[in-house]
Amino acid sequence: MIGTGYLGATHAVCMAALGFETLGLDVEKAAALSSGRLPFHEPGLEELLRDQLATGRLRFTTSYEEAAAFADVHFLCVGTPQRADGPGADLRYVDGAVEALGPHLTRPCLLVGKSTVPVGTAARLRARLAQLAPAGQDAEVAWNPEFLREGFAVQDTLRPDRLVFGVASDRAERLLREVYAPLLEPADGGEPVPLVVADLATAELVKAAANSFLATKISFINAMAEVCEAAGADVLPLARALAHDPRIGGRFLSPGVGFGGGCLPKDIRAFTARAEELGVGRAVEFLHQVDEVNLRRRTAVVDLARELSGGDLCGRRIAVLGAAFKPGSDDVRDSPALAVADLIEREGAEVVVHDPMAMDNARKVFPSLSFADSVTEAAVGSDVLLHLTEWPEFADIDPHALGDTVAGRHIIDARNTLNPSHWQAANWNYRALGRPS
């Protein structure tokens, strides 16, 4: 595995669990992983990491030369963040990994991209690798996009809902089939994982298309929430009615403060940027609106907090429940919760944040915010309570007891996952996005 961040570490551990001799390459994380420590939170993965280290099938290195000599198949798992100067993908880590690995590839091998990249990247890397590698054309490139959900990464790797192989030769397809044989031909007689074999460009586009569709579905129901707010309607029964239509379904149809994290926001922006480079920007123009709807949900929470604060947030104390972009993770990249907290602090409020898992990462990104070790500590003296990440433990809060600690019993359920009657029975002013006052 070239790169052992969230994707690479997960894939390395799971490949070892499937029985393969596996080596993870990372100049920064190799030492921690070698000692059995994950640099991020993912349920079940650290235990599996330690188990696989103990078998001897899994180890980590900082040497490109060692990695090149070790493997027949190299998975490229480095990050592709948004560029600092625009919406496109920053490919410096992808290109850097190929430049560093290529000169050491002295025998036939397959470099398999898993990173989310703009369409056309695989073809470019294939040409570059043929120039760099002493093995020449025997160092091939394929693309195998990942579809991991944070919080379910082990499950999604060992039992994915589909596999996609982007290949340019029969040999590349054969090697990938060998790697994924435990999933394609399960020994327990279970159902094989569905496989789609395509060309390089199509495989690259699958991930971009999938994330664009999911983002569109989330923003659609949040756009309906905006309409409900204006019309005095309720978005939750509206969403339930839509979910009963088998053509639509209920997954990702949950109204709230919108999506965040390290994938959907940057991926749809990179997709639109690449489409414009290809001269077909109009085909994905709607994704600009998807992005705008998503960002408006954050400002809608701020507007509602200001309303409940008497029209001015300056000098108010606001408690924020949640920092991670989703429950079950410590990932705060493009977190809607922290974006809202930051916007409110900019208006002069004192903001106190609590999260069960993501406090350390949140402090690094927003050191000016205040942080509390418990819900009660965050809520003490607060004028408004914001529920911004739907951790299960927040649903178990006792609003009667919490009401005795606050200055004002106002709560904004920006995830629409709390029980309104539970809070209203304790004399809280319960408000939620897309729902009547």
Is the separation of the CB atoms in 302 and 339 below 8 Å? no
| H/E element, 320 | strand 317-321
Rg (CA), the chain: 24
Is the separation of the CB atoms in 7 and 31 below 8 Å? no
Is the separation of the CB atoms in 389 and 323 below 8 Å? yes
Identified catalytic residue from 14, 228, 263, 314: 263
* Residue 14 bears catalytic tag: no
Burial label, 237 (beta-carbon count in 10 A; 0-12, 13-18, 19+): exposed
What is the end-to-end Cα distance of the chain in Å, rounded? 51
Residue 392 to residue 295: CA distance in whole angstroms: 24
Is the separation of the CB atoms in 147 and 163 below 8 Å? no
Is the separation of the CB atoms in 296 and 302 below 8 Å? no
How far, in Å, are 7, 180, 258, 425 from residue 195 at the CA level? 20, 10, 31, 52
Is the separation of the CB atoms in 290 and 215 below 8 Å? yes
The token pair at 153 is 């990464």
For 178-182, the CB contacts below 8 A with 24+ separation are 179/15, 179/20, 179/73, 182/18, 182/19
Active site residues: 263
